[in-house]
Structure 1
Amino acid sequence: MPTSSPITRWSRRHTLLAGAALLSGSARAADAAWPGGPVVIHTPYGAGGTSHNLSGVVAAQMSISLGNEVSVQARPDQTLTSMAQAVATAPPDGRTALLVSNVFVRAAVASPSVGYEPFNDFRPVGLIARSELALVTHPRAGVRSLSQMLGAARQQHRTLRAASFGKDSTSDGALAQLRQLADVDMPVTHFQGQAPAVEALLAGEQDLVFINLPELQPLLRQHRVVPLAIAARSRSTRLPQVPTLTELGYPIVFAPWYGLVVPAKTPDAVVEAFNRELNAAIGASVVNHVLLAAGVRPEPGTPARLREAMQDEVTLFRVQSRALAARNSAPARKS
């Protein structure tokens, strides 16, 4: 099984500390109007992935500082759409939140009938962190570059097997774009979380998977995967030798960000209190250290900053969609 990341190990230890803090209570929590009861952060992504691990770290730290239960409810059996709809219609008391990423916005822009509207049905609480997404294969594939892998697949008329860590996940969106731009036969298998998707790759059952950098680094140290490209605007400082997908001719920018939203009618005072506690948790020295060590950049800030990130995602998605449409409509080049 893949080695656990620093985020995962920290979250397990501090969940126990959070429980102890709840037993002792806190005058600060007792005096505050918010939270006034258990807070649940919902995510459709299973254990082992960056989304779940990030929310677990933050929830544990908030539980300790508030003396109030803050937990993560992971439901990989549910889609992002069904979970977003459930959170949007929950009581607007700041005790029901949704962990969101790029895909939360992209899915709604790509399909207006998806069942929720990210800007009207929710209020942003704040960003948590940003990460990077790398495309990898397994050493047994016998290739050292994406060009080699795609070239061999075309010449041999071979199907490439790709794994995502959940329908509507960040990896699912990136793979969909790569499949269209590369014009290869590449069916995607959706796993319930990043860990089983990576395990399938390591077992040779899949050929390609996008992995968040925190989970990638232990695998690289063990030489268990081969990095092919980064889905970012520029090369990663942690993997400077790995080209971006744009450099390789595939303009795919899919740098994951993560944040929290609550139902649209949540009062200003509650959002402000939630944001303040969220930023305090992200800024805690131990949390900050663990996130940075794992390759995730902490990003505390205002609710407006998360809204800006969401709007930037809309713009980026539309630019990429136009580029894809132009590429697909261009006359085929003669061989």
Structure 2
Amino acid sequence: MRRAIISCLAALAALSATAAVAQDWPSKPIRIVVPFPSGGTTDTAVRPLADRLSQQLGVAVVVENKPGAAGRIGYEFAAKAAADGYTLLAGTDSLGLQPHLDPPPNYDPIRDFAPIAQLSSQPLVIAVHPSLGVTTLQQLVELGRTKREAIGYATSGIGSSQNFAGEWFASAAGLKMLHVPYRGGGQAVSDLLAGQVQLAVLGIAPMLPYHKTGRIRILAVTTAEQSPALPDVPTLKELGYDVVVDQWMALLAPARVPPVILERLNAEVNTALRDARLRAAYESAAMRPVGGSAAELGALLQGEYRRFGQLTRELRFKAE
């Protein structure tokens, strides 16, 4: 009986301590870890959100870029951070992909993170530099089939969803394509603009302005439906290639963050995503604001984990 009483008292004390911490939260700056360099799609999605959350919460919400290894460095850093609600993670669809690659990452996307809310959804794009001399995806396929050497394509890194989409498309089209990985989308875009690489599979946000000015040409998007920002650009599926990759961004926290803080964060993110200025910023970058519950994000992450697991086995995809 005495042990049971002591256990109950200890549990009550722990609950009281958790409630006290949650009640005072936030009392200092919050950081959002972006596991990619500045200038890429994830960074573009998170910065206006951080600004809006700063206004709503009354504390500074800062973006901390921790790029490298297609996001693994940032993901692993966030997984080991204190579960106090002051370190958050901007996660992407690559969370569902990376655990199926060799070597596996030092984090578990389901066990090590607590979902908060989905931020956005947007396509990846297949884009070319004008010097490649193609204006349609079919012309790219024909060129790739006639060239003796493989066409190099840029992505934000080895083992990224862009790398996966590129290899999936190459397999579906019967092409030889050589992966040219970068440490992030920003540098890949810069080299594509300079013609240092002539083909890229990247996120839409940093590519859209240059497509509009003609400095690059987007040939196709990877989503099941066309992007409203690119009404004249077809999907890969429309062009006969059963390749669908929907790039999403989401806010997560290290596991074991008190539920009351997670609930507050979910409410604040959903409020932010209803803000007209934030929605305009997302939509101008061809990102669709989403929001929703933590349970919905958790279901999305688990579904992507299963889907990528099956696809990597079927395609025998290796990140290299």
Q: TM-score range by the shorter chain?
A: 0.7 to 0.9
- CA shift for structure 1 position 118: 0.8
Change beyond 3 A, Cα 1:258–1:111? same
**Aligned-partner SS, 1:83:** helix
8 Å CA contact 1:232–1:244 kept in 2: the answer is yes
Task: Tell me what 1:193 maps to.
Answer: 184
| Aligned residue runs from structure 1 range 292-303, under 5 A | 292-303=283-294
8 Å CA contact 1:34–1:273 kept in 2: the answer is no
8 Å CA contact 1:181–1:324 kept in 2: the answer is no
Instruction: State the TM-score, normalized to the length of structure 2.
Output: 0.84
8 Å CA contact 2:225–2:235 kept in 1: the answer is yes
Amino acid at match of 2:145: R
Q: Find the partner of 1:124 among 115, 140, 151.
A: 115
Question: Which deviates the most, 296-305 or 236-245?
Answer: 236-245
Task: Tell me what 1:148 maps to.
Answer: 139
Q: Find the partner of 1:243 among 234, 238, 241.
A: 234
Deviations 1:160-200 (A, max 9, x none): 11111233433223223233434433222222322221121
- For 2:23 and 2:275, the matched residues in 1 are separated by 21
Task: Tell me what 1:305 maps to.
Answer: 296
Deviations 1:140-176 (A, max 9, x none): 2111222222322222313211111233433223223
8 Å CA contact 1:137–1:225 kept in 2: the answer is yes
**Aligned-partner SS, 2:148:** coil
**Aligned-partner SS, 1:132:** strand
8 Å CA contact 2:189–2:206 kept in 1: the answer is no
Change beyond 3 A, Cα 1:163–1:79? closer
- Structure 1 residue runs of 5 or longer lacking an equivalent are 1-30, 326-335
8 Å CA contact 2:97–2:304 kept in 1: the answer is yes
- CA shift for structure 1 position 85: 2.2
**Aligned-partner SS, 2:27:** coil
- For 2:238 and 2:311, the matched residues in 1 are separated by 15
8 Å CA contact 2:128–2:200 kept in 1: the answer is yes
Task: Tell me what 2:52 maps to.
Answer: 61
Q: Find the partner of 1:82 among 61, 73, 79.
A: 73
Aligned residues: 296
- CA shift for structure 1 position 90: 1.5
- For 2:184 and 2:100, the matched residues in 1 are separated by 24
- CA shift for structure 1 position 299: 1.0
Deviations 1:108-160 (A, max 9, x none): 13458322111111110111111122111112211122222232222231321
- Structure 2 residue runs of 5 or longer lacking an equivalent are 1-21
Question: Which deviates the most, 37-46 or 146-155?
Answer: 146-155
1:253 aligns with 2:253: no
1:277 aligns with 2:250: no
8 Å CA contact 1:252–1:320 kept in 2: the answer is no
Amino acid at match of 1:258: M
Task: Tell me what 1:266 maps to.
Answer: 257
Change beyond 3 A, Cα 1:248–1:158? farther
Percent identical among aligned pairs is 29
